[in-house]
Structure 1
Amino acid sequence: MLKRAVLLGAAAAGGAAAYYYTADIDTQMEMASATGPLVRMLDPELSHIIGIQAAARRLLPRDTRPDPPALHTKVFGLDFPNPIGLAAGFDKNAEAVAGLMGLGFGFVEVGSITPKPQPGNPTPRVFRIPELKATINRYGFNNLGADAVQDHLLAFEAAAEKDPALKRGPLGVNLGKNKNSKDAALDYCIGLTKLATHADYLVVNVSSPNTPGLRALQGRKELEALVNQVKGTRDRMVWGQSGPPPLLIKVAPDLNELDKRDIAAVALACGVDGLIISNTTIQRPGEVANYPAAQEAGGLSGPPLFAMSTGVLSDMYRLTGGRLPLVGCGGVASGEDAYKKIRAGASLVQLYTVFAYEGPALIPRIKRELAECLKRDGFTSVADAVGADHPDIRRHNSSGKSSAAQAGSKKGWLW
């Protein structure tokens, strides 16, 4: 029954594909998005599976237009055609990288991936709040495991070798731990060893609320030990002239002031290359609490998360003194939202939930709106706007007084 529903959903996307390729790319995107309401009549997880299969089969539009020059940016020494990326959690098994990059994302992050396959938590485990374009999930790192994902990444690399345009931007690999593992650091190191050579950057996810005990790894002592072990494993591997992929940590929005200070201190002291802020929240802010789905356990994502995650992002920019690239994630639904993340301190921005609601047409719209925001406020590039809400920190870093900032700039970091 599940297979039949997936095939029917993919066929619906394919039926649209049969005629939207005769239209201009914006019309193609709108037509692809128009199938969304039909698919969303299904169970949320089934809708997710259908979306992945449509992307994996290249049934979605392919936007080959160059991005506006103002959106081009360089972070971690990597070139991004635009700063809008797809967050981890959508393509958990790296099955649809080419199709998703083809939609116009500046980068795509796959995972979270655990060393061994695991089914995740019992179903149902995804709950929509459509009135708010929000979702609550308790997936629990369901994925096929590092070996299967490695095969998928090898297949993508082979396809991209034949058609380099398939790899529009950098590819991130998000690592997790198995639910029953007694050694979290070992799990991350296993995943890194198997997948790092296929990644442009790596993410250690210590912030999902759906794996018991995972968020405890954000404590200062625990995080420092974990980062040192994982970073050491990466650095002992043999790398070419370009060196190892940057290592990022993904943190939760549910942090108190001490948590934030500790994470910032560990990230700077241990040489982490960046932070992703943030994962989903276990809180039910504002009007979310009025909806029945709010009673479900799991992480909340979508626009109700925006203010909380952006607040933490701003705090982490301040606590790191602008010396670390930050990726803003959580509740982005428009180019203005992305711009606010950038002004708060994000060098890159990720989204997921609103994309699942609105479909492919969201991506060109957000990029267009972001370019308009930059132009409106007199910024010629994304890099110029990063941290604009923190003028004192920006002045300090640009003055050359901060030795840490100077050291970071040698790695290609943006301020």
Structure 2
Amino acid sequence: MYKLLIRPLLFLFDPEKVHHFTFSFLKITLRVPFISTIVSRLYQVKDKKLERNLFGLTFKNPVGLAAGFDKNAVLYNDLADFGFGFIEIGTVTPKAQAGNPKKRLFRLPKDKGIINRMGFNNKGVEAAIKQLKNNKKKVLIGGNIGKNTQTTPENYTSDYTTCFKALHPYVDYFVLNVSCPNVSSHAKLEDAAYLKELITEVQKINNQQNIQKPILLKIAPDLNTIQLDEIIDLVNQTKIEGVIASNTSVNREGLKTSTEKLDQIGNGGLSGQPIKEKSTQVIRYLAEKSNKSFPIIGVGGIHSAEDALEKLEAGADLVQIYTGFIYEGAGLVKQINKAILKA
């Protein structure tokens, strides 16, 4: 029903406007008495065999919602009804920011992809905390954190530590988003020496808390093998808990969408089916080269249960969806979980 009727209708309108409309619709609908229960029964797969224990946390199933969908932690309680094992909010920055100028979100229907240059638009860390205080504990919550666009290089670390300190009591794990192509000084955020400095500072704060929270690093799919080797060394040196592979790509090779259309869209991060293979290759390389010495969350181009199983077979411990959720609908979570039980 979703792909035949609802998606074609939604795709007639601007993607960002549809996103806000969908949020409003779900927020209202799922708070009608009994609707939440009905949705849960339709979409959730409950089975102890789906549980995964990683970095001190128990995930009720290995399928999560990637960051970017619920940036401001507005809908995570409701989205949990669709059967996710974990939901990542953000990217959250210390201060609220509008992000890049619109239009900044584009569908590539021929490729089942999306290009975005949102620019970390969010209401800031205090607004996220206000929402997280209403956590009904239905699902594990990840806090994806980044820097404000206007922050100068010498203050990048301060932005991350500000968010880390503030969100620490309210999320179950953290993700350092250092690989988004839509923020300034992208190169510095992927420099191995700087990443070591950043991780070390965040870990210092973590060690001062009564309860330590797992910290993961989100990397780009466009890294070469030398850079991936540096990531493996970095994880082993810092003992960071894991890696999320991968973020969006700046590569445009092999797309069915016309060059003219792509030129009209301009720059931005590509997600969805076009980066499926690249993401899987990164996962496989990290898993094999590191001898599976750290957990990996696989994300990028998961539009079917088979896509998810491929990521898991490549070495991912958990998977996340985003673009696939938009193209394939909420039933995708259930399909993946059922397939994992059969595998």
- TM score, norm. by length of structure 1: 0.76
Report the Cα distance in structure 2 between the residues aligned to 1:190 and 1:179, rounded to whole angstroms: 15
Residue 233 of structure 1 is matched in structure 2 by 205
1:52: Cα distance to partner? Answer: 2.1
Report the Cα distance in structure 1 between the residues aligned to 2:4 and 2:178, rounded to whole angstroms: 33
Asked if 1:187 is matched to 2:164, the reply is: no
Q: 1:325 to 1:286 in 2, by over 3 A?
A: same
Name which of 125, 135, 157 aligns with 2:114. 135
Report the Cα distance in structure 2 between the residues aligned to 1:188 and 1:206, rounded to whole angstroms: 10
1:195: Cα distance to partner? Answer: 0.6
Name which of 176, 179, 185 aligns with 1:207. 179
1:67: Cα distance to partner? Answer: 2.4
Report the Cα distance in structure 1 between the residues aligned to 2:245 and 2:162, rounded to whole angstroms: 24
Alignment-mate amino acid for residue 247 of structure 2: N
Report the Cα distance in structure 1 between the residues aligned to 2:94 and 2:290, rounded to whole angstroms: 31
Report the Cα distance in structure 1 between the residues aligned to 2:341 and 2:273, rounded to whole angstroms: 21
1:329: Cα distance to partner? Answer: 0.5
Secondary structure of the structure 2 residue equivalent to 1:317: helix
Name which of 174, 178, 185 aligns with 2:144. 174
Q: How does 1:10-409 map to 2 (within 5 A)?
A: 30=1, 34-59=5-30, 62-64=39-41, 65-155=44-134, 157=135, 160=136, 167-182=137-152, 183-237=155-209, 239=210, 243-288=211-256, 290=258, 292-295=260-263, 296-372=266-342, 374=343
Q: 1:256 to 1:364 in 2, by over 3 A?
A: same
Residue 33 of structure 2 is matched in structure 1 by none
Report the Cα distance in structure 1 between the residues aligned to 2:201 and 2:4, rounded to whole angstroms: 43
Alignment-mate amino acid for residue 323 of structure 1: S
CA-to-partner distance for each residue in 1:256-302, whole Å, 9 max, x for gaps? 12211111111111110010000000001312463544332000000
Q: 1:57 to 1:268 in 2, by over 3 A?
A: farther
Report the Cα distance in structure 1 between the residues aligned to 2:57 and 2:45, rounded to whole angstroms: 17
Alignment-mate amino acid for residue 298 of structure 1: G
Report the Cα distance in structure 1 between the residues aligned to 2:277 and 2:283, rounded to whole angstroms: 10
Report the Cα distance in structure 2 between the residues aligned to 1:112 and 1:71, rounded to whole angstroms: 27
The answer to whether the 8 A contact 2:3-2:327 is kept is: no
Alignment-mate amino acid for residue 43 of structure 1: D
Q: Which moved more, 1:168-177 or 1:358-367?
A: 358-367
The answer to whether the 8 A contact 1:253-1:279 is kept is: yes
Structure with more helix by fraction: 1
Alignment-mate amino acid for residue 299 of structure 1: G
The answer to whether the 8 A contact 2:107-2:114 is kept is: yes
Secondary structure of the structure 2 residue equivalent to 1:102: helix
The answer to whether the 8 A contact 1:33-1:361 is kept is: no
1:37: Cα distance to partner? Answer: 2.5
CA-to-partner distance for each residue in 1:43-85, whole Å, 9 max, x for gaps? 0111111222233335376224442343221111211121110
Alignment-mate amino acid for residue 198 of structure 2: L
Report the Cα distance in structure 2 between the residues aligned to 1:361 and 1:292, rounded to whole angstroms: 34
Q: Which runs of 5+ in 2 are unaligned?
A: 31-35
Q: 1:135 to 1:293 in 2, by over 3 A?
A: farther
- The higher radius of gyration belongs to 1
The answer to whether the 8 A contact 1:120-1:139 is kept is: yes
The answer to whether the 8 A contact 1:235-1:244 is kept is: yes
The answer to whether the 8 A contact 1:254-1:281 is kept is: yes
Secondary structure of the structure 1 residue equivalent to 2:121: coil
- TM score, norm. by length of structure 2: 0.92
The answer to whether the 8 A contact 2:86-2:139 is kept is: yes
Q: Which runs of 5+ in 1 are unaligned?
A: 1-29, 161-166, 375-415
Report the Cα distance in structure 1 between the residues aligned to 2:146 and 2:176, rounded to whole angstroms: 7
1:357: Cα distance to partner? Answer: 1.8
Alignment-mate amino acid for residue 40 of structure 1: F
Secondary structure of the structure 1 residue equivalent to 2:169: helix
Secondary structure of the structure 1 residue equivalent to 2:274: helix
Report the identity percentage: 37
The answer to whether the 8 A contact 1:338-1:349 is kept is: yes
Secondary structure of the structure 1 residue equivalent to 2:222: coil
Alignment-mate amino acid for residue 230 of structure 1: V
